[in-house]
């Protein structure tokens, strides 16, 4: 299992968290989001001009971490050979927010 972490001070639009790996699926096992101000987070398969949402908008309140442990049985999965990305939008004033994803690249 691998951990990827991003910390941002501005909205993110189709930002790549995990680059595409030829012939592999990216399986998200755990997600943690923290924010100094309210933020909406969407995980994406194939970030870019035509992304596919893996989650609905997840509302993260200021100072209240969001922790989602999917495990392997309920993991979020990208399309084969597609990157994993994130889009975020502040719900009020801009502030620092962080996204941590535990994932596996599988055949």
* 9 phi, psi to nearest 5 deg: -115, 5
Q: Which two tokens stand for residue 8?
A: 């941002």
Alpha carbon distance 5, 71 (integer Å): 18
Q: Check: CB of residue 84 under 8 Å from CB of residue 78.
A: yes
Q: Where do the DSSP E strands lie in 1-107?
A: 2-8, 12-18, 25-35, 39-45, 52-53, 58-60, 66-69, 76-77, 84-90, 97-106
Q: What is the pLDDT of residues 78-101, one digit of tens each?
A: 999 999 999 999 988 888 999 999
Domains contained in the chain, number: 1
CATH code: domain of residue 34 = 2.60.120
pTM, two decimal places: 0.92
Q: What is the pLDDT of residues 30-87, one digit of tens each?
A: 999 999 999 999 999 999 899 999 999 999 999 999 999 999 999 999 999 999 999 9
Domain enclosing residue 61, as ranges: 2-106
């Amino acid at each position: 299992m691998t951990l990827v972490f991003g910390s941002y001070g501005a909205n993110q639009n189709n930002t790549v968290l995990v680059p595409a790996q030829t012939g592999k699926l990216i399986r998200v096992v755990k997600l943690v989001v923290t924010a100094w101000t309210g933020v909406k987070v969407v995980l994406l398969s194939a970030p870019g001009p035509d992304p596919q949402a893996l989650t609905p908008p997840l509302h993260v309140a200021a100072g209240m971490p969001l922790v989602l442990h999917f495990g392997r049985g309920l993991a979020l999965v990208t399309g084969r050979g597609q990157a994993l990305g994130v889009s975020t939008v502040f719900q009020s004033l801009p502030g620092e927010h962080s996204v941590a994803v535990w994932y596996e690249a599988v055949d």
